[in-house]
Amino acid sequence: MEPGESRSGGFLAEMPRTRSRRSWATQLIGTIGCLLALGESILPALSCFAGVRHFTYVYEAPTTPAGTIDFENWVTWQRFSNPARLDEIAFRHEIEFGITEKFQASIYLADWFYARAKESSGVTYSDSALEFIYNLSNPVIDPVGLSIYQEFRGGDRVFEWESKLIAQKNFGPLILAYNATLEAVWEGKGLAERSSELQQAIGLSYEISPRISVGLELLHEFLLPEWRDDETIRNLFVGPNVSYRRGSWFVTVTALAQATNTRSEADFQTRTIAGFAF
């Protein structure tokens, strides 16, 4: 006699079939519960990809979802003290378009800045730009998330070509990101003056809650005047960041201090990016 079977008829004879139905229903409910729990754990990680920035100086690999339009405003304040004290506040206004699930295009409507020195101050338009990012892999489900970035910037007597490799890996609430950047700049009358820069940027961000993240950003720059490394200029900036998001908007702030001693570079700088999705 198999376990659960009975020699009697009636109610006892129906017990194995009832148990089977209950067992099947219990397994189905359990499976659905597991899928819902898994979905709840994955969706926050995926939803944070929709334009939210955990960093301000470091780019992340995910792109804006197809059909989404994001509007972002940047404010960067820099304090210079050597050879003379100077405060500069730079503004940037960006519209991001999700073209496909892997391709994002952006327009920087205007880059402009306000500079205040001891004897003078003023507002200056700098340039406008186009930016393109193509995502190659996902930082959650793939071994590493990768994207390639290209920006073209042009303005009054300035043209810049900027290429970037973006790498990212998510470990649950912990996000690690790395950028390798090459910039080439032509300036001045007839764009005769030229310079370039190699940059490494590293970002670490930890999601304390679905709305708040805190972390650290580091920039390492190699400046190449006239596209040469004769002067051996190296800059290092490091500092904390914090990001807050709610609904369709977010605000992220980073504060960096110069860890080197380059006279022409800012001693201290902060950047705030505030954005929302249409």
Give the residue extent of every domain in the chain: 1-47, 52-277
Q: What would the pLDDT profile of 104-132 be if each residue is shown by its tens digit?
A: 999 999 999 999 887 778 999 999 999 99
Report yes or no on whether pTM surpasses 0.85. Answer: no
Q: 277 — phi, psi (to 5°)? A: -100, 140
CATH class of 52-277: mainly beta
Look-up of token digits 């378009």: 97
Q: Determine the average pLDDT of the residues in 12-19.
A: 37
Report the C-alpha dihedral over residues 220, 170, 48, 199, rounded to 10 degrees.
10
Q: What would the pLDDT profile of 45-82 be if each residue is shown by its tens digit?
A: 334 445 689 999 999 999 999 999 999 999 999 999 87
Q: Determine the average pLDDT of the residues in 19-45.
A: 42
Q: What pLDDT does residue 230 have?
A: 86
Buried-exposed string 74-106: b where 16+ CB fall within 10 A, e elsewhere: bebbbebeeeeebebebebebebebbeebbbbb
Q: Determine the average pLDDT of the residues in 199-204.
A: 98
Q: What pLDDT does residue 129 have?
A: 98
pLDDT confidence band for 11 (50 / 70 / 90) = very low
Q: Are 95 and 66 in contact (CB under 8 A)?
A: no
Q: What pLDDT does residue 49 have?
A: 40
- SS3 letters across 193-218: EEEEEEEEEEEEEEECCCCEEEEEEE
Q: Are 104 and 63 in contact (CB under 8 A)?
A: yes
CA distance 129 to 125: 13
